[in-house]
Chains A and B, each alone.
Chain A
Amino acid sequence: QVQLQESGPGLVKPSQTLSLTCNVSGASIGSDAYYWSWIRHHPGKALEWIGYIYYTGSAYYNPSLKSRVTISLDTSNNQFSLKVTSVTAADTAVYYCARVGYSKIDYWGQGTLVTVSS
């Protein structure tokens, strides 16, 4: 059974870097069949796709965030990570990692709330 689990600080200060890791079990992030994605949900707003990464390391980002976001792979630990630099209160959200295969987002982590506040 495929499972994803986010981990990382729940509180980040403004202007600092938000860093999250997604641990994947039941599937290999080295598979050529899937992309590994980050999505966030601001309270009361629509879900926002942040980006995804392929097993080759090629990453694709939402242009609205592209200058501040990096997604990377750690194949030895079957994990992938998200970094968002220069955060503001607008980056406060629930962050999900997810698997994308054949144009469908079929498995999600449980989500982790990240609050940006001093």
Chain B
Amino acid sequence: DIQMTQSPSSLSASVGDRVTIACRASQSISTYLNWFQQKPGKAPNLLIYAASSLQSGVPSRFSGSGSGTDFTLTISSLQPEDFATYYCQQSHNIPYTFGQGTKLEI
């Protein structure tokens, strides 16, 4: 299985901050990398697919980059509703695998 490792596991930030979350794959996955946001008691919500494509309806302050094994999710200016847990996920190989999550706190 491809292992996905996120860093940091938790992050404290303030409204208006620029935040970056990293995700590393244990082998090359090209750009088969997706990012999700999850709030307590809710299903994950797709933010970014194919490493850098913004899912419809997602604010433009979210962006993704990377290819191969190293990827980043950037939130350009944190809003109060962005405090949540973020997961990366690879869809290059079966089984699909997820990172362990990054909890973004105020």
How many residue pairs at the A-B interface have CB separations less than 8 Å? 58
A55 at the interface (CB under 8 A from B): no
User: Given A47-B44, A96-B43, A109-B43, do A104 and B98 touch, yes or no (CB 8 Å)?
Assistant: no
In the bound assembly, the distance between CA atoms of A63 and B94 in angstroms comes to: 9
Point out the residues of chain A lying under 8 angstroms from B87, CB to CB: 46-47
Q: Is the CB of A46 within 8 A of B44?
A: no
A46-B99, A49-B96 as given contacts; A108 in contact with B91, CB under 8 Å: no
Q: What residues of chain B lie closer than 8 Å to A111, measured between beta carbons?
A: 42-43
Q: Which of B95, B98, B101 contacts A63 (CB 8 A)?
A: B95
- The secondary structure that dominates the A interface is strand
Task: Give the contacts of A82-114 with B (CB-CB under 8 A).
Answer: 96, 98, 100, 102-106, 108-111
Given A64-B95, A103-B50; A47-B32 close (CB under 8 Å): no
Q: What chain B residues lie within 8 Å of A61 (beta carbons)?
A: 95
The interface residues of chain A lying within 8 Å CB-to-CB of B43 are 96, 98, 108-111
Contact of B72 with A by CB under 8 A? no
Decide yes or no: A105 and B34 within 8 Å by CB, A110-B43, A111-B43 being known contacts: yes
A62 lies within 8 A of B95 (CB): yes
12 additional contacts, CB 8 Å, given A46-B97, A108-B43? A46-B99, A49-B97, A49-B98, A51-B95, A64-B95, A96-B43, A103-B49, A105-B34, A105-B36, A105-B89, A105-B96, A106-B55
Q: Measuring CB to CB, which residues of chain B are less than 8 angstroms from any residue of chain A?
A: 1, 32, 34, 36, 42-46, 49-50, 55, 87, 89, 91, 94-101
